[in-house]
Structure 1
Amino acid sequence: MTLPILYTLRQCPYAIRARLGLRLAELDVEIRDISLKDKPAEMLTVTPKGTVPLLVLNNGDYIDESLNIMIWALSQHDPQNLLLSDNCHLFTDMINLIARNDCKYIAALEHYKANTRYHNPDVAIYRNLCRSFLDDLEARLNKHRFFMCDSPSVADYAILPFIRQFSHVERQWFRHAPYPRLQAWLEQHYQDPIFSKVMEKRPFWQPSSLIKSHHKEIV
């Protein structure tokens, strides 16, 4: 049977999110790491949007939003109950937290990264905008081990790539920031074999390559 195909970019936080969802759902997929400078025609044939992640399903349908890929995958198989399907209240809170990450925090993070890169004086302004979200996460982790409860949820994995990205902008600042719980939470994910597997480096996929990189594997 033909496997679903995931077009991905190793360091893209949205692509990391998609790979995490597929691996946590324990689904078999074909991974195709691509170069944005040389996007494969097979990918552009599916949709000219040309962004990652892109999950192409067996029936020819596709999903090109990272959170939708996560939810689709875990709707197929959710062995850790990451969707919190048995708790409507927590599920609603979880979706709202992810929405805050995606709608407000990421926008501030993009400004923070850009201002730091170009040594603009507004760095602290955008760092503080990010911190309003991080303060909430730290408070949550003071109550329980993960963002929603004492077990991980989709929120932890959906937000993880963007906390990782924040921590890389000013590494020294983050190391000494007043976020001991969040720092420990991030380190816990780094030590998780699931994250290591998701971040594994692969050669770029090329359809005509002598060494075929389209072998079947679990994400």
Structure 2
Amino acid sequence: MSVPILYTLRQCPYAIRARLSLALAELEFEQRDIDLRRKPAEMLDITQKGTVPLLVLENGDYIDESLEIMIWSLNKNDPHNLLLTHAPHFFAEMLSLIARNDHKYILALDHYKSDARHYNPEVTIYRKLCESFLSDLESRLSNHKYLMTDTLSLADYAILPFIRQFSHVERQWFRQADYPNIKQWLSSLYQEPIFSQAMKKYPLWDNSRSTVTN
């Protein structure tokens, strides 16, 4: 293959991460949007894990963890200095913040989504657990425009898809919630052309026709 291939699902927050990072790194890649109910054989031939995102490299190696795809992409090319190389101590802090998102917060978020979907009256329990993380982000954003500094970083793009998902669970509640800094942060990132590029809708990939190359 001449360019990496990304198997992806449009609304999956992990896959959004991968598409954002590849676009931010200005890397050419082939995008294959799939239906997880009908996983293509080509994808399963690479790994039986069967999850997205899955980035297949030119040499046949693959990366199937979204944060690893982000770091791989930005190590290839980081024109916006999202790894904050001018301040190396920030990198460890970014990874720590992302780890909190990826473990404790996402676990609560998954329960929150399920409870809201099934009209569980205890939905507020997991919403409040999510809010402990949101409160930290709100505080950070009161000190600077973005999560780490006044410039965008890996942390902003890694965490964005999951705060976006939280805001969609109970939209009316979130509109009234007292998170002005997070709402401004979301609005700012949504207006970035790179976000529209990453969220562009493509037809499902079919190996009988040519695919989209970014």
Q: Secondary structure at the match of 2:159?
A: helix
Shift in Å, 1:110: 0.3
Structure 2 unaligned residues grouped into runs of 5+: none
Question: 1:63, CA displacement in angstroms?
Answer: 0.1
CA RMSD of aligned residues (A): 0.9
Equivalent in the alignment of 1:216: 213
- How far did 1:120 drift? 1.1
TM-score by length of 2: 0.98
In structure 2, how many angstroms separate the alpha carbons of the residues matched to 1:6 and 1:190?
Answer: 22
1:162 and 1:184 mapped to 2: Cα distance?
A: 16
Per the alignment, residue 123 of structure 1 pairs with 123
Q: In structure 1, what is the equivalent of residue 176 of structure 2?
A: 176
Q: Report the equivalent of 2:155.
A: 155
- Say yes or no: does 1:194 pair with 2:194: yes
Q: Which amino acid aligns with 2:94?
A: M
Match of 1:98 in 2: 98
Q: Structure 1 residue 88: deviation in Å?
A: 2.3
Shift in Å at residue 89 of structure 1? 2.0
Amino acid at match of 1:139: S
* Structure 2 match to 1:108: 108
Distance (Å, rounded) in 2 between the aligned partners of 1:95 and 1:64: 18
Aligned partner of 1:2 in structure 2 is 2
Hey, what's the Cα distance between the residues in 1 that align with 2:92 and 2:59?
31
Aligned residues: 214
Pairwise CA distance, 1:86: 2.1
Match of 1:28 in 2: 28
Give the Cα separation in 2 of the matches to 1:9 and 1:196. 15
Counterpart Cα distance in 2 of 1:91 and 1:68: 14
SS at match of 2:203: coil
What corresponds to 1:64 in structure 2? 64
- C-alpha deviation, 1:32, in angstroms: 0.4
Identity %: 65
Q: Distance in 2 between matches of 1:191 and 1:168?
A: 17
Q: Unaligned regions of 5+ residues in structure 1, if any?
A: none
SS in 1 for 2:140: helix
Name the residue aligned to 2:38: 38
C-alpha displacement of 1:122: 1.6
Counterparts of 1:200 and 1:216 in 2: how far apart (Å)? 13
| Aligned counterpart, 2:53 | 53
The CA distance in 2 between the partners of 1:123 and 1:216, in whole Å, is 41
